[in-house]
Structure 1
Amino acid sequence: MGNLTFNAIDVETANADPSSICQIGIVRIRDGEIKEQLSVLVNPEQSFNAANVRLHGIDEAKVSASETLLQAAAKLRSLLEGTVLVSHTPFDQAALDGAMRRYRLAPILATWLDSALIARRAWPERYQRRRASLAIVAGDLGITFRHHDAAEDARAAAEIVLRACLHTGLGVDDWLHTTVLGDDAFPPL
């Protein structure tokens, strides 16, 4: 099996605007092992929607003393730029890019890998006709986590990728190659 080094990320948002990030979770995987799990509350400088608060439990009071994304951007960039960055669906990439744009900052340049797409390809018999949501895939694989906590969601996405690598014998570089080239390039298992 190849490379098993990457970072995983998940974000929670204050409202329906993807750039309203109020929590960022990052998990650092080195050689197939979790080395660090970070959770950062972010002041989105936007109002909170009651439905979002019910999901993740984060409200204005919890982030009032937290840094804004503008203030946290340099730290995030130093952690993530130039790395392979896993998220479950493209939502987190769109949210992070949108939040950076909102502050007129350049996007964080990383190579993004979608753990939902990996799950569909690693276990096509399970997810061809069924959703591959984080909760469903994690449940199928026996991964326990507190859903809608960004650090826990990032860890679940990371564990999905690690289990897919073990199941298929493919490393992260192989998954990057096959997801960039498309379904026809997926090697037979």
Structure 2
Amino acid sequence: MDFVAYDFETANNYRFSACSLALIVVRNNQITDELYSLINPQTNFAWRNVAIHGIHEADVADSPTFDELWPHLKSFFTPDQLVIAHNAQFDNSVLKHALQHYDLPVPTFKSLDTVRTSRKLSPELINHKLDTVSQAYQIDLHHHHNALDDAHACAEILIHQVNNFGIEAIRPFIKSV
């Protein structure tokens, strides 16, 4: 299976406030590439968000803004590309709001949420948070809420599910957004 897993962290409660992003490229069920960047959201950081991900305003001061980073990312978000996230509703919303914030066109792409696939394929779990599913599938999640580690874990979750439940179990969860 070919797909891109991604994860955002945000500076505050505003969805346009992306402060880090990771993309994991998977080809033939193998991780082949990764991209990670801090992002300068040009807005204030909420203490609650900093407590979750540990990224401070000073950490992103010299980082690109989202509109500067987008030209390097947009080829991963095409109508034929499957892009996955754990709680995709959040990450897709951050992407959409960041693009709208900078008056950039919002792309159409195929999306899959590994929270939803996990609920269906592993209903016995106490919950379907990223760390819980990772532990159940014996996937190393080094630093939860680090975008790169979270995107890696998300990719590994879908690889595990495809290998153990088959592609046909996954197909119903693919939606165009």
Q: TM-score, normalised by structure 1?
A: 0.85
Where does residue 112 of structure 1 map in the other structure? 111
Tell me whether 1:179 sits opposite 2:173 in the alignment: yes
1:127-146 counterparts in 2 under 5 A? 127=125, 130-145=126-141, 146=143
| Matched letter for residue 179 of structure 1 | F
Where does residue 28 of structure 1 map in the other structure? 25
How far 1:33 moved relative to its partner?
Answer: 0.5
**Contact in 2 for aligned 1:6/1:28 (Cα 8 Å):** yes
How far 1:138 moved relative to its partner?
Answer: 0.8
**Contact in 1 for aligned 2:5/2:84 (Cα 8 Å):** yes
**Contact in 1 for aligned 2:7/2:91 (Cα 8 Å):** yes
How far 1:180 moved relative to its partner?
Answer: 5.2
* Structure with greater Cα Rg: 1
- Secondary structure (helix, strand or coil) at the match of 2:135 reads helix
1:153-164 counterparts in 2 under 5 A? 153-164=150-161
Q: 1:65, 1:120 → 2: CA distance?
A: 40
Tell me whether 1:80 sits opposite 2:74 in the alignment: no
Q: 1:132, 1:123 → 2: CA distance?
A: 8
Q: 1:115, 1:105 → 2: CA distance?
A: 27
**Contact in 2 for aligned 1:7/1:84 (Cα 8 Å):** yes
Divergent runs of 4+, >4 A: none
Q: 1:151, 1:80 → 2: CA distance?
A: 18
Size of the aligned set, in residue pairs, is: 172
- Secondary structure (helix, strand or coil) at the match of 1:96 reads helix
1:15-94 counterparts in 2 under 5 A? 15-82=12-79, 83-89=81-87, 90-94=89-93
Alignment partner for residue 165 of structure 2, among 165, 168, 172? 168
Q: 2:108, 2:69 → 1: CA distance?
A: 16
Gap runs ≥5 in structure 2: none
How far 1:179 moved relative to its partner?
Answer: 2.0
**Contact in 2 for aligned 1:122/1:167 (Cα 8 Å):** no
Instruction: Note the aligned Cα RMSD (angstroms).
Output: 1.6
Gap runs ≥5 in structure 1: 182-189
